[in-house]
Structure 1
Amino acid sequence: MKRSPEDEQLFNSLIDQINQLQETIAQLNEQIKNLNRRSFGTSSEKTRAGQTSIFDDDSFIKAETTAEKTDEIIVKTHTRKKHNHQTKFIGEVEKKKVVTDLNDSEKQCFNCQHKLKKVGTRLDHIETELIPAKLEIVEYYTTTYKCDNCEDEDDHVRFTSSQAPKPAIQSQFTSASSIAWLLHQKFELSIPLYRQEKEWRSYELDVDRKTLANWQIKATQMYLSPIYECMKSELLTQSYLHADETPYQILRRSDGRAATSESRMWVFTSREGAEHPIIIFHSALTRKQEVVEKFLQGYTGTLLTDGYTAYRNLPVKHAVCYAHLRRKFRDANATPGLAAIGVDYCNQLFILEHEFKNLTADERSKERQEKSAPILKKFWDWVETLSAMKGNLKTVIDYARNLKDELSLFLQDGNIALSNNIAERAIRLITVGRKNWNFSTSEAGATSNAVIYSLVQTAKENGLNVYKYLQKILRELPSLRFVQHSELLEAYLPWSKTIQATCR
């Protein structure tokens, strides 16, 4: 029976709908597999020891098998590396010597009652004693003097008084040390303020989380933000930067949007091995390109990112992370197939980068041209054969094609890293903190968090004791006229000789 034109059109329309639904079902099945793999599978992106290239390239197999041997414990379902952790002191710890002695009655020989003669001491055992923190009320008094001679001669009394150190914040309940401890606990140990309330009460101080938050914000605005701005200025003089961002919730927003709207916490970092390692966090209400443009205003160096569109069309050399590309290939298909080929190409590049790790930038660039460039050419040739792809794999292939220049930039400069892991590690700190305190109530609070995270992580990257560093800033800056003389702040940057000598 011949169909009418109307029936034929309806039939074709239904066929198209069926095809679209089948494609949607396939994509959803891929997403379910990916979610199951993320929830129940391994989270590591490293190639397992002994895993070879799907192309059976002997040179890459050899590179894999030269890894240092490790002891392994074999269990029923998987292999786990054995970790022999040795408990040890990682810094200088004060030592106290306790010598036990006999009492006078025991210093006589139990046999002949003659007086015993001391012959020496020996070490019996060692303990590590914990001394809990405690609060101490410190009252500062100034002393005043007058000149009796002037008073006798001209009846004019002249007084001179000593100067007390200026407090970080005008409150009898806090100090540089207590604020530094508050910040150390929240931003280095990820302990939220509501849990710190209980600890302060155990020290006999009844203080609520709102007051603690106010101390944090005041300390940021008065003393920590100027240090942050100096660090940011130094960062933007460096030739190579990394960037990333993550969602971050702010309840009271100035743009009128709902509290459930996603804000963003951005991070910009130095490259691995930088002379002055710096990590700068930046809070913003949006994920738009204008945020990056404003932050990087005037910067023309190299920026390594995950390829997000906000980083494109900036006046910088834009490089893109291969770890991110590899992750996209892995997420494109949970079963072996074409996506596995893309993963393998990325793995080959990372294996070579491990070989180049200890080379100079010039040497690394030369090796990349000789060894990495041919692999990358094969990768792009393979990408061009995938013209009729659908689903998640098509999305990854389109992503790679659109960023071909950015993904190839590392061949031109040995200083450009292959991955953006340094920025991703930094941004992970925000996700840990976010799990503990969930959100910032105000934009001022979010900005304060960004500033303090920046100081804490930059201090750690420069080998400092974070608590000592924050305490020194909060103890000394109140007495300095750094607003009028900003050059004074240079002595408080994490890499300065003064800070390195006193805060490690």
Structure 2
Amino acid sequence: MPSHLDSAQSTHAEAPALTASQLVDLVSKQEREIVNLRRQVAWFQRQIFGQKSEKRHPEPEGVQGVLGVGFDAVPGTPLPAKKTVVAGHERERKPKNPNDGADESTLFFDEKRVPVEVIAVPNPDMELLKPDQYEVIGEKVTHRLAQRPGSYVVLKYVRPLIKRSDTQALSCPPAPVGVIEGSRADVSFVVGMVIDKFDYHLPLYRQHRRLDDAGVKVSRPWLTQLMQSTVALLEPVYDAQLDSIRASRVKAMDEVPIKAGCASPGKMKTTYFWPIYGERDEICFTHSPSRAGDHVRDALGLSPPDKAVLLSDGYSAYSSYAKQVGLTHAQCWAHARREVYEAKDIEPVPAETALAFIAVLYEAKAHIRKNELSGAHKRARRQAHAKPAAERFFKWIDKHFEAQGFLPSSPFTKALNYIRERRAGLEVYLDDPDVAIDTNHLERALRVIPMGRKNWMFSWTELGVKRIGIVQSLLVTCRLHDLDPYDYLVDVLQRVGQHPASLVEQLTPRVWKTLFATNPLRSDLYKRDERR
């Protein structure tokens, strides 16, 4: 009777032997699978334990600590504490406790905008003395921040009704006209509702609950209808701002997903915002139902300005549009760097070398920003420092591809290939001072969409998404121009109904800042506070 060992040997004997080429293919396949799994594990570890920032912090040589060696062996000494020289000895200066009740030399609020209520604190020693036994020589002041929950105000307009003695005719002035015809909402309430929802991401149902807690009884549908009417008034201003961005020679563009509309019962559709950033610090969030490349053409148009440049990431829709209309397509170095950074955990040594090359480019950018260079001076700095570094980096990439020192499917090789294929677009900014090195300015501006998406999750209709884009375009542009969105919207909502349609561009934040910001229209509530 044959043993199990004999059976196993006979089975192996019957199995066909692999050829050399088959073995090579098998090993290559397993290597690719191992690299892919290592990349996935590294990504999960970074998400759970690592830092989300892509900042590079190279360790100074010789400072890295070693297991088993005491911390006192690490070179470097802490910075000395500030000291005060007193007769006979030195005393360390202790930080002042802001809560010790002492006077405050600098205010932490704007006295022109924050109402202050004065509370007199009696001195108990004064009660034991007669007025002629003491003298008030000064006072000390302490400020504390307070809050009233749901601070709403009702404006009560009292209009006298008179009857003339001679003609017996009745006369009464009309009620002030509101920004929403027939609505009982003052412009201050309308703007506060808009900013709470879109700037501070407070949904309407929470605002409704806060109103109810404050003793104001209104319906949820009333808030929704009020929001819709308000955004309808702002839409012409948004359209004028989009026209201004389209006329910019240099534009940056990206796409960000958002849930809108029902794809099927219980499932939302994934649609996209396509934010466009103009060269005059304006942004518009255009919306489309998909990520198809045709939407880039619909958003930017087919007639770009002379010598136009579009700055974007490596998505092929942008390069296709650039070829179609004949403009220059600039590529983002931050996205190129991200590809290398994500491969750092798999192949750290070559990835660190590549990141060091890219760091030189950003050192030039930091010098330009610090010294506020522009125009020819900015271009000269890039040509003298960034361009030679970029050329060395691309030569280094070509050298490594020629040596074939990397696995064909490794993440680092893919990152280098991503950069090499986009070399022409990545070098555009070196010769054009108006083009940024990356799209980080756009990424910062569009951050309101992911932040809001975590609060209101989705929009039930695509029309609702369009309204989100209109309001966020104006609010973010206000922030870019250091404007208070509240002051801006209170003024614009009162002007837009009477402003000539041909001059609607004057109401965009960029132009409004120069024309109306010094003397904006106010709410009657503001005028009442001034009288007080």
Q: TM-score, normalised by structure 2?
A: 0.74
CA distance in 2, matches of 1:475, 1:289: 39
Quick one: which of 393, 396, 414 aligns to 1:382? Answer: 396
**Secondary structure of 1:311 counterpart:** helix
Quick one: which of 140, 145, 165 aligns to 1:124? Answer: 140
Whether the aligned pair in 1 keeps the contact of 2:506 and 2:515 (CA below 8 Å) is: no
**Secondary structure of 1:282 counterpart:** strand
**Residue 141 to residue 288, structure 1, CA distance change in 2 (3 Å):** farther
Equivalent AA in structure 2 for residue 383 of structure 1:
I
CA distance in 2, matches of 1:326, 1:18: 31
Equivalent residue number for residue 77 of structure 1: none
Quick one: which of 443, 467, 477 aligns to 1:448? Answer: 467
Quick one: which of 105, 109, 123 aligns to 1:89? Answer: 109
1:139-166, Cα deviation, whole Å (9 max, x unpaired): 57597999978x9xxxxx9x99755443
Say whether residues 1:265 and 2:270 are aligned partners.
no
Say whether residues 1:493 and 2:509 are aligned partners.
yes
**Residue 232 to residue 488, structure 1, CA distance change in 2 (3 Å):** closer
Quick one: which of 55, 59, 63 aligns to 1:46? Answer: 55
Say whether residues 1:190 and 2:201 are aligned partners.
yes
Say whether residues 1:136 and 2:148 are aligned partners.
no
Say whether residues 1:320 and 2:337 are aligned partners.
no
1:402-423, Cα deviation, whole Å (9 max, x unpaired): 2111001111112221121111
Equivalent residue number for residue 287 of structure 2: 283
Query: CA offset at residue 11 of structure 1?
Result: 8.7
Whether the aligned pair in 2 keeps the contact of 1:144 and 1:161 (CA below 8 Å) is: yes
- More moved, 42-51 vs 295-304: 42-51
CA distance in 2, matches of 1:140, 1:17: 89
Pairs aligned (count): 452
Instruction: Give the root-mean-square deviation of aligned CA atoms.
Output: 3.9
Whether the aligned pair in 2 keeps the contact of 1:410 and 1:416 (CA below 8 Å) is: yes
**Residue 15 to residue 475, structure 1, CA distance change in 2 (3 Å):** same
1:9-64, Cα deviation, whole Å (9 max, x unpaired): 89966863553243133113212202322432223333337658xxxxxxxxxxxx
Equivalent residue number for residue 350 of structure 2: 338
Equivalent residue number for residue 204 of structure 1: 215
CA distance in 2, matches of 1:285, 1:490: 31
Structure number with the bigger relative contact order (C-alpha 8 A, sep ≥ 6) is 1
Quick one: which of 192, 202, 205 aligns to 1:181? Answer: 192
**Secondary structure of 2:518 counterpart:** helix
Whether the aligned pair in 2 keeps the contact of 1:37 and 1:334 (CA below 8 Å) is: no
Q: Please, which runs of 5 or more residues in structure 1 have no aligned partner?
A: 53-68, 73-83, 152-156
**Secondary structure of 2:254 counterpart:** strand
- More moved, 488-497 vs 334-343: 488-497
Equivalent residue number for residue 318 of structure 2: 311
Quick one: which of 289, 293, 296 aligns to 2:297? Answer: 293
CA distance in 1, matches of 2:231, 2:55: 39
Query: CA offset at residue 323 of structure 1?
Result: 1.4
Quick one: which of 12, 28, 33 aligns to 2:37? Answer: 28
Quick one: which of 408, 411, 423 aligns to 2:442? Answer: 423
Equivalent AA in structure 2 for residue 428 of structure 1:
R
Q: Please, which runs of 5 or more residues in structure 2 have no aligned partner?
A: 1-11, 62-77, 82-96, 99-105, 522-532
Equivalent residue number for residue 64 of structure 1: none
Equivalent AA in structure 2 for residue 37 of structure 1:
R
Equivalent residue number for residue 398 of structure 1: 417
CA distance in 2, matches of 1:476, 1:355: 43
CA distance in 2, matches of 1:396, 1:218: 48
Q: TM-score, normalised by structure 1?
A: 0.78
Whether the aligned pair in 1 keeps the contact of 2:474 and 2:509 (CA below 8 Å) is: no
**Secondary structure of 1:241 counterpart:** strand
**Secondary structure of 1:180 counterpart:** helix
**Secondary structure of 1:233 counterpart:** helix
**Residue 87 to residue 403, structure 1, CA distance change in 2 (3 Å):** farther
Equivalent residue number for residue 227 of structure 1: 237
Query: CA offset at residue 219 of structure 1?
Result: 1.1
**Secondary structure of 1:197 counterpart:** helix
Equivalent AA in structure 1 for residue 42 of structure 2:
K
Whether the aligned pair in 2 keeps the contact of 1:494 and 1:500 (CA below 8 Å) is: no
Query: CA offset at residue 353 of structure 1?
Result: 1.7
Quick one: which of 331, 340, 359 aligns to 1:347? Answer: 359
Equivalent residue number for residue 477 of structure 1: 496
CA distance in 2, matches of 1:306, 1:259: 30
